[in-house]
Amino acid sequence: MIRSIAIAALALGTAACVSIDTTEVAPAPAPAVTAEAPTPVNLIIIYSLQEGVTPADFEEWVATRDHPTMRALSRVKDFQTYRADGLLTGEGTPSVAYIETFAINDLAGFGSEDMASEAVQAITSEFAGFAEAPEFILVTPVD
């Protein structure tokens, strides 16, 4: 492009008036980018239902609102809700009524973007009306 302009200037007889450097300069190298891949995490939520909330009402909400909304998030790789039905050994009942598991492929993005969205804020608010003292536990597999 610069050479074309210089040749055009010479052709017009204006070369004496115009000083054009035709030395081609290589572009500067791009700065090194060290984009780290997001760290996947597993989240477990344990809780019981608030007094007056029936399992049927809660499980209907899970099927129609919670799962469709949370599973649609691109950073949620997997999301399951489990009802604690009993103990394998011993007598009594489990200490919680429900357990949820999340596999999240980008916790930073999930926390800063997904959790701030209107859809997730609505689900979080609705969940607070069902769950009694939920615990949100980040877990790491032990090899």
What are the pLDDT digits (tens) for 98-107?
999 999 999 9
CATH 3.30.70.2190 fits 41-139, yes or no: no
Q: Are 72 and 129 in contact (CB under 8 A)?
A: no
What are the pLDDT digits (tens) for 73-121?
999 999 999 999 999 999 999 999 999 999 999 999 999 999 999 999 9
Whether residue 1 is predicted with pLDDT greater than 60 in this model: the reply is no
What are the pLDDT digits (tens) for 47-67?
999 999 999 999 999 999 999
Whether residue 11 is predicted with pLDDT greater than 50 in this model: the reply is no
DSSP state letter for 92: S
Domain boundaries, the chain: 41-139
Strand partners, 139: 42
> What radius of gyration do the chain's Cα atoms show?
30
Q: What number of other Cβ atoms are within 10 A of residue 81's Cβ?
A: 16
Longest dimension (CA), the chain: 102
Q: Are 43 and 82 in contact (CB under 8 A)?
A: no
| Spatial CB neighbours of 84, under 8 Å, sequence gap ≥ 6 | 94, 96, 97, 98, 99
